[in-house]
Amino acid sequence: MLLNSVIFVLREVLEASLIISVLLALSQNQGLSKKWSTPAVIVGLSLAWFYASQLAVISSYFDGVGQELVNAGLHLLIYIFILLTIVLLKYPTIKSFAILTMICCVVFASVREAAEIIIYLAGLSSMPDLFSSVLIGSIIGASIGLSVGILFYYLIAYARLKLGLFFGLFLLVLIAGGMVSQSIQLLTQADFISSQSPIWNSSFLIDERSLFGQLLYALIGYESTPTLVQFVCYSASVLLAAVLTISTFRSSSVLEKS
């Protein structure tokens, strides 16, 4: 159970950890306050606890696919707030409002990822013979996920201003695309989008189950067997985010700390 717990918790923590660290590093890069992160995570965890406690009820909504719709909604909201963050950073007079959009991203990401961990740990806490190894595995998984996030934070926050900003925004664009891709997959699972055959299978190159595959999944929404709808939506969302990012990056205000 120890190894299973490491893998499970790592998968969940990694995604949220990357979003939080990239946004936090961009705050540092742009001379914005970083004090927002702890309250945002606390609010996110509180809402995750509520979501986890109500999951059975939520799942039963919309003919049994309520869970998919809420999760797809959370991913789409993260995408929208990432776009707003990118746009707000362009304008010096309203740049500080980017903190609000960053808070929304972190809250939604924490809800999405932490809820599953809460359900997992709550269920296994009733099995005392397994729980200690599950807890140790979860702590190891969370530590690895947080360490990767911290690594990315330092890479962006302490790089030269222009390089850090470019790298941070570049990662944000890819993360944004991954959010849309996951949302499409959930809507397909809920039968709101017709299921299609995958347009390719790259699992022989990078297996989604591997550690590298998991990192790519969290970072760029890597999917070894994407459908056409998923690929088109992913590409369109990345393109839109990239266009906004280029516009922000070209603005002189982002190359001066506020």
Question: By C-alpha distance, which of 149, 80, 60 is closest to 113?
Answer: 149
CB of 127 to another protein, least distance (A): 7
Among 85, 224, 237, 248, interactor with another protein by CB under 8 A = 224
Q: Return phi, psi of residue 3, to 5°.
A: -65, -40
CB 2 within 8 A of CB 131: no
Q: Which of 128, 195, 204, 205 binds another protein (CB under 8 A)?
A: 195
Length of the chain: 258
Structure tokens at 122: 């709550």
CB of 223 to another protein, least distance (A): 8
| Least gap, CB of 65 to another protein (angstroms) | 6
Q: With respect to another protein, which residue has the nearer C-beta, 207 or 256?
A: 207
Contact between 65 and another protein per CB under 8 A? yes
Binding mask 170-189 for another protein (x = CB under 8 A): ---------------x--xx
Nearest to 87 by CA among 191, 243, 222: 243
CB-facing half-sphere around the CA of 51: CA atoms within 13 A: 24
Residue with Cβ nearer another protein (43 or 124) = 124
| Pair 222, 213: CB distance under 8 Å | yes
What are the distances in angstroms from CA 238 to CA 138, 141, 180, 231?
32, 29, 9, 10
**Minimum distance from residue 35 beta carbon to another protein (Å):** 33
Nearer to another protein, 96 or 203 (CB): 203
244 closest CA partner among 32, 82, 94: 82
Residues of this chain, 95-154, that bind another protein according to CB under 8 A: 116, 119-120, 122-124, 126-127
Residue 59, interface with another protein (CB under 8 A)?
yes
Query: Binding another protein by CB under 8 A: which of 14, 178, 223, 238?
Result: 223
Of the chain, the end-to-end C-alpha distance in Å amounts to: 49
Q: What is the contact surface with another protein in residues (CB under 8 A)? A: 4, 8, 55-56, 59-60, 63-65, 67-68, 116, 119-120, 122-124, 126-127, 185, 188-191, 195, 197-198, 203, 208-209, 223-225
